[in-house]
A and B are shown apart, each in its own frame.
Chain A
Amino acid sequence: MSQNGKPKVAFFDFTSCEGCQLTVVDSLQDHPELLNAVEIVQFREAMSEKGEDYLVAFIEGSCTRASDEARLKKIRQQAAVVVALGACAHLGGVNTLKYLHPLDEVRQYVYGDKAGWYDTYDARPIEAVIPVDYFIPGCPIDRDEFLATVKALLLGKKPPIPDYPVCVECKLKENTCLFTLGKVCMGPVTRAGCKAICPSYGQSCEACRGFIPDPNDSSMREVLAKHGLTPDEITTMYTMFTTYQVREKLMQRASTHE
């Protein structure tokens, strides 16, 4: 807490597009009073000042190189509460698409014979490196959910991140289901909270918010197959943001079968 009684919060970014930080700035458009409720002591994208005595750390971006780990650990040491901000931090996000190709090939493709100059490894969620208290899912995060999380933390509550799937919100919006329109969608197994924004704008949910706690994967894959997807296309659907999770699950299954 600072002297004015406002908890000090800091924002950090790792490998990301900074769209979640931008969404934080956007959330001020309708709620400038946020600045009265917390004291922001670090926010590189928006300010030059730097305070090191933060209580809550919002971390954007995934961990993609060994040197990120030390920085993450330092933040964890200082912060009483660590919140993963957005899909990159929460899931590894779109950065984990790298997984689908052997890493050397990726580096080679982009940097050619200079590949050795750059330090990088498989992208991973920050939870793979430090304990994370809460997460705000989404690529990008949802403004309202960000504000609700801040309020919940101030009240000493768990942030109200839903455990139910996107279909719940999609139905409440009375969208015609994409499956009815001959398209496909990851909504049934994806964590809600985005107000089903993608199906509402005519596009498949791509699972940017990660999976619900107990998804019925086998049934979901059957649904996708029934709507004409090949196994390869189903893998593609499952890996836009969640390659890390899908891979973890496969490895888990492999190790239990051993």
Chain B
Amino acid sequence: MITVPNLTPVAEPLHVGEQIFQPEFGRIRTVEQVGPLEKLFTIELPGGKSLDHRPGQFLEVSILGVGEAPISISSSPSRSNGVFEMCVRKVGDVTSAIHRLQSGDKIGLRGPFGHGFPIEKFRGKDMLFAPGGLGLAPLRSLINQVLDERALFGRVILLYGAKTPPELLFKDELREWAERSDIELHLSVDRGDETWTGNVGVITTLFKFITVNPRNTVAVTVGPPAMYRFVLMEFMGMGIPEGNIYLDLERRMKCGVGRCGHCQINNIYACQSGPVFSYKDIKGLEEAL
């Protein structure tokens, strides 16, 4: 039998008006190259409105004439200042068009969509983050919120892997975090280069450096589909309960409101019930992993 998770929305999208398909326009404040193919965009909403998102939520980003792409919000709600951030990897039509935008340009936005991370359930827990590659972009939102509420959490452990050293994103922030004593940071790359002195190997090779209290740990992973199976095995191997493991299931998405069918995983729509799921809720779904 397949299980039907009963997932109730935790956050209502704020910027979905009656015309659910019509984007609003934000304005780009800054653009920063943060990886070989990745740019970080700082965006403000009209009238200084705040986005009021939850970490883990995403927006449908529009370039009129080119199309829409779902992009996670990378900044933490705790640091909004009337702006938010998105990190975009250039892989195709829409993302390339986004990359052509400059500060001052308008950008179409719908959302935020989806559930975010249930952060209130995480408070008091140790946090183990294991993003891969571009996965740090969405997870950064949660990490920074946790750091901003540092006292409310136990340990904060971050294992981050990328293919090569230049592909490690947000290097300034990584450096900052490395200097903090209240974060345990471990980095790895699949293939090193002459500058690299750290760990070489896929992200799972970092798990040997840490020990956790499984009963009190929330583990979160975001990354490419191929990575999940292995990271989940590590989490479970450490004894972390399935209900405390969270992951982000990204699918093709067109509407963001649970209708177009592209993001469907068996009987659930990832855009609505996800994209963040607890492993317990989706492990019975044939098509999830």
Q: Which residues in A have some Cβ–Cβ distance to B below 8 Å?
A: 155-158
Q: Is B66 an interface residue (CB 8 A)?
A: yes
In the complex, chain B residues whose CB is within 8 Å of the CB of A158 = 92-93
Q: Nearest chain A CB to B141's CB is how many angstroms away?
A: 29
Question: Are B100 and A156 interface neighbours, CB within 8 A?
Answer: yes
CA gap between A157 and B98 in the complex, in Å: 12
CA gap between A155 and B100 in the complex, in Å: 11
Interface residue range, chain B: under 10
CA gap between A50 and B97 in the complex, in Å: 33
Q: Is B102 an interface residue (CB 8 A)?
A: no
Q: Nearest chain B CB to A1's CB is how many angstroms away?
A: 15
Q: Nearest chain A CB to B98's CB is how many angstroms away?
A: 11
In the complex, chain A residues whose CB is within 8 Å of the CB of B93 = 156-158
In the complex, chain A residues whose CB is within 8 Å of the CB of B48 = none
Can you name the residue of chain A whose Cβ is closest to the Cβ of B96? A156
**Chain A: interface secondary structure?**
loop
**What are the nearest 10 A-B pairs in CB distance?**
A157-B93, A157-B66, A155-B65, A155-B66, A158-B93, A156-B96, A156-B97, A156-B100, A155-B97, A158-B92
**Chain B: interface secondary structure?**
loop
Interface members, chain B 76-120 (any A CB < 8 Å): 92-93, 96-97, 100
In the complex, chain B residues whose CB is within 8 Å of the CB of A157 = 66, 93, 97
Can you name the residue of chain A whose Cβ is closest to the Cβ of B63? A155
In the complex, chain A residues whose CB is within 8 Å of the CB of B65 = 155
CA gap between A86 and B59 in the complex, in Å: 39
Q: Nearest chain A CB to B217's CB is how many angstroms away?
A: 43
Can you name the residue of chain A whose Cβ is closest to the Cβ of B93? A157
Can you name the residue of chain A whose Cβ is closest to the Cβ of B92? A158
Can you name the residue of chain A whose Cβ is closest to the Cβ of B94? A157
CA gap between A167 and B93 in the complex, in Å: 27
In the complex, chain A residues whose CB is within 8 Å of the CB of B97 = 155-157
13 contacts between A and B (CB under 8 A): A155-B65, A155-B66, A155-B97, A156-B66, A156-B93, A156-B96, A156-B97, A156-B100, A157-B66, A157-B93, A157-B97, A158-B92, A158-B93
In the complex, chain B residues whose CB is within 8 Å of the CB of A156 = 66, 93, 96-97, 100
CA gap between A157 and B69 in the complex, in Å: 14
Can you name the residue of chain B whose Cβ is closest to the Cβ of A160? B93
CA gap between A155 and B65 in the complex, in Å: 8
Q: Nearest chain A CB to B83's CB is how many angstroms away?
A: 27
Can you name the residue of chain B whose Cβ is closest to the Cβ of A154? B65
Question: Contacts A155-B65, A156-B97 given; 7 further ones with Cβ under 8 A?
Answer: A155-B66, A155-B97, A156-B93, A157-B93, A157-B97, A158-B92, A158-B93
Q: Nearest chain B CB to A126's CB is how many angstroms away?
A: 25
CA gap between A129 and B275 in the complex, in Å: 45
Can you name the residue of chain B whose Cβ is closest to the Cβ of A152? B93
Q: Nearest chain B CB to A157's CB is how many angstroms away?
A: 4
Can you name the residue of chain A whose Cβ is closest to the Cβ of B65? A155
CA gap between A155 and B66 in the complex, in Å: 7
Q: Nearest chain A CB to B134's CB is how many angstroms away?
A: 21
CA gap between A188 and B66 in the complex, in Å: 29
In the complex, chain B residues whose CB is within 8 Å of the CB of A155 = 65-66, 97
Q: Nearest chain B CB to A171's CB is how many angstroms away?
A: 18
